[in-house]
Amino acid sequence: MMDQLLREKPPGFGGIERVCHGLAEFLGGRVYSLKSSRKCLPEPLPVNYLRVQLISFSIGRFIVPLPTYSFIRFLFSERPFIAHLPCPTVFSMALIARLLRPRRPIYIYWHSFISPRPGLIGFLENIYQIIALTFVRLFPLITSSPVMVKALLEVGVSRSQIACLPLSLQPEQETSYELVFNKRFNSLSSKNYSPSGRIIAIGRLDSYKRVDWLLETFFKCSGAKRLDLVGDGPDRFRLESLAERLALKENGKEVFFHGRVSEEFKTDLLSSSDILVLASDRCNEAFGIVQLEAMACGIPVLSFDLPRSGMHWVSKVEGLRWSGKPDDLKLVLERLLSNTKLYIKVSYQLRSRYKRLFSVQIWRTRLKKLQAFHE
């Protein structure tokens, strides 16, 4: 049994919440969160563990938990727990718990580095990251890719502190995507098969996701015919306006903003898509769960190669060599959509990579080894 602490309540829609959910399903224990995830009823995934939401209030982007019974019980407990970063409050609570119970097993899940934004918020983000990288050496760390391991080593974290545990999907998701791949396999095996030109992006419509870049590239790409955008966020209105302006210059292309959708509808959209694009331009995106969803379906995935981010590593295969630079996104999209032989090759390679590195069975085996090492 192992407790966990994170910013937002799982399973949610974000990567950190989904990682926490998967660990809780496997390890058991309580999951403590500081705030409720964005409204998502019904639950996107079944939950069979205890969730405790700590009562808190916000000062800007900083969350302050109130000294309730649940809060005190968590801090003084001797049960091991995993703290999911980045979040200043979560990290502060981990430090306090370490002071109160020096022998308590506490693990830090270092999900990503932060690319500080301009202005005061960015200044505070940078201060937080400096402090976190200074004191994180008091704890054993878990991170998600060899790229992230290397980045932590470069800032002075000891290799003996770091365990690499690439992410995975939930068993029920893997089963659904297995069915999608089986149907795609029949289509890919057909002599008349060719990509239809459907692109999909899944994620919060926020500035660092660079859906604006994807929209501009989509309208310039002759082989792309339809773009499905799944997710919601503060940039939606601006992006819808941009799509309307670009559509005036280019006929025969369709863009659909679906908002937040159910897992079932998302799977339907994925099954009819040719390529998934994760266009994030900051290391805040260190590993895209949506990449695994597409790879499990045998759908090609494109993501940028960024310092301190493992997302390009996740979907990198031998059959598709490209720079991972935003300026080359149009070129690689054109190659995949116009070269059926290449497209099919990459589809099979990505499905194989998923099975070899990220399947539920592989993830469970790695997690058991981590447990055995620390026990």
Strand, helix or coil for residue 121? helix
Q: Where are the domains of the chain?
A: 3-168+360-374, 171-358
Q: Would you state the pLDDT for residue 14?
A: 86
H-state helical runs in 196-275: 211-220, 236-249, 263-271
CA distances to 134, 149, 331, 359 from 364, in Å: 31, 20, 38, 9
Collapsed DSSP state (helix, strand, coil) of residue 24: helix
Quick one: pLDDT at residue 24?
Answer: 95
pLDDT of residue 38: 58
**CATH for 171-358, among 3.20.20.80, 3.40.50.2000, 3.30.460.10, 3.40.50.1000?**
3.40.50.2000
Q: 294: closest CA among 322, 270, 320, 329? A: 270
Bridge partners for 162 per DSSP = 141
What order do you get walking across the sheet with 3-8 strand by strand? Answer: 50-53, 30-35, 3-8, 81-85, 106-110, 141-143, 162-164
> What's the pLDDT score for residue 92?
95
The pLDDT score that the predictor gives to residue 372 is: 66
Tokens of 103: 């022998």
Q: Specify the fold of 3-168+360-374.
A: Rossmann fold (3.40.50)
CB 209 within 8 A of CB 239: no
Preceding peptide of 80 cis, ω within 30°: no
Phi, psi of 262 (to 5 degrees): -75, 165
* pLDDT beneath 50: ranges in the chain: none
240-249, pLDDT tens digit by residue? 999 999 998 7
CA pair distance 190, 64, nearest whole angstrom = 58
The residues pairing with 8 across neighbouring beta strands, listed in sequence order, are: 35
Please provide residue 198's backbone torsions phi and psi, each rounded to the nearest 5 degrees. Answer: -95, 125
Q: What is the pLDDT of residue 189?
A: 86
Which residue pairs from 71-79 have beta carbons closer than 8 angstroms and sit at least 24 positions apart in sequence?
A: 74/3, 74/5, 74/32, 75/100, 76/100, 76/101, 77/3, 77/101, 77/104, 78/104, 79/1, 79/2, 79/3, 79/29, 79/104
